[in-house]
């Protein structure tokens, strides 16, 4: 059913034959598995194979927790055999063992042990509600959406211009925390259950004016609050959706240093209040003592 698997099959057979003829020992074996066959379906699920075709490296010294390298190079007999030669050389200790291979030394790795992908960049968006959708797509693979895993970690997400080091020092702690509210947050999908992660973001503009004594300019930042949900639905293509809404309001935060006379006025008010209360207590105490003494004179006490 997979068009790309059908195209790779004869190339893979020829490459396997060449490797076997050149290296008849057990240093390297090229094998294939049909993930659509009932006997091998559990194996493909175990190793989270959801893109077809996938070429993985299995080593004799791999443990249960090992990440198997994936081949991302050209799907041709010369490219695959040149890539495979590296593993023969590693097995014979002719070159150092490594899990990253660049057979033609063009700066692009043919295989590596990394899991997933990294997305980074800048987007220019309108000041209106919108949605950012992240979904697996390839011009050379077919996907099994039932096992697709879109677990992800948000290293950084912010709106507006990048802030300088001085600007970060000006921002109050609660506003600085809202600038990257999703930073370093991890979102995990349940195994074997197609899961879509949806994030709802409300963005608010802040203008922070520091005290005049700081000699710093007003800092403009965009903070946001976020609510995240998981959607698990049969037939749903697993994606990551970021819904954002830039609110048409501005929160102004101004910090002013209190003048000395304000402090003196407040201090005098506190001292005056203490004396007033002490006077009331003393007056009440004197009256009570005088009343007790008068009752004692009249013999009415005890």
Q: Which tens digit of pLDDT belongs to each residue from 104-148?
A: 676 666 666 666 677 888 999 988 999 999 988 877 777 877 778
- Known catalytic residues? 2
Q: Rounded distance, CA 166 to CA 216, Å?
A: 8
> Cα torsion for 260, 266, 271, 273, to the nearest 10°?
170
Distance CA 143, CA 51 (A): 5
Answer yes or no: are the C-beta atoms of 134 and 119 closer than 8 Å. yes
pTM for this prediction:
0.62
Q: Residues 235-272: pLDDT tens digits?
A: 778 899 999 999 999 999 987 777 777 878 888 889 88
pLDDT digits (tens, 9 = 90+) for 6-58: 888 899 999 999 988 888 876 788 889 988 888 888 888 788 787 888 888 88
Report whether 143 contacts 136 (CB < 8 A).
yes
Q: What is the pLDDT of residue 61?
A: 76
Cα(289)–Cα(283) distance, integer angstroms: 10
Instruction: Provide CB contacts within 8 A for 274, sequence distance 6+.
Output: none
Distance CA 56, CA 283 (A): 92
Which residue's entry shows tokens 């349940």? 190
Buried b (16+ CB within 10 A) or exposed e, 52-72: bbbbebeeeeeeeeeebbbbe
């Amino acid at each position: 059913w997979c068009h790309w698997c059908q195209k790779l099959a004869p190339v893979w057979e020829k490459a396997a034959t060449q490797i076997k003829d050149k290296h008849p020992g057990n240093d390297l074996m090229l094998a294939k598995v049909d993930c659509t066959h009932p006997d091998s379906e559990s194996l493909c699920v175990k190793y989270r194979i959801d893109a077809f075709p996938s070429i993985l490296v299995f080593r004799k010294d791999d443990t249960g927790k090992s990440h198997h390298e994936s081949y991302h190079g050209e799907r041709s007999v010369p490219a695959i055999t040149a890539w495979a030669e590296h593993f023969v050389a590693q097995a014979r200790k002719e070159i150092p063992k490594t899990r990253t291979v660049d057979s033609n030394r063009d700066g692009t790795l043919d295989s590596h042990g990394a899991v997933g992908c990294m997305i980074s960049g800048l987007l220019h968006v309108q000041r209106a509600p919108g949605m950012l959708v992240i979904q697996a797509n390839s011009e050379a693979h077919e996907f099994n959406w039932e096992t697709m895993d879109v677990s992800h970690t948000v290293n950084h997400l912010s709106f507006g211009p990048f802030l300088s080091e001085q600007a970060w020092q000006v921002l109050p702690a609660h506003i600085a925390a809202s600038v990257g509210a999703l930073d370093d947050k991890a979102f995990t999908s349940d195994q074997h259950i197609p899961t879509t992660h949806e994030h709802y973001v409300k963005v608010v503009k802040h203008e922070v004016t520091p005290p005049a004594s700081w000699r710093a300019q007003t800092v403009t930042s965009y903070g946001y609050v976020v609510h995240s949900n998981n959607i698990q639905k049969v037939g749903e293509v697993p994606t990551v959706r970021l819904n954002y809404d830039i609110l048409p309001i501005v929160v102004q935060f101004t910090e002013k240093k209190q003048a000395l006379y304000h402090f003196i006025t407040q201090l005098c008010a506190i001292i005056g209040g203490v004396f007033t209360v002490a006077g009331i207590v003393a007056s009440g105490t004197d009256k009570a003592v005088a009343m007790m003494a008068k009752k004692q004179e009249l013999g009415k006490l005890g």
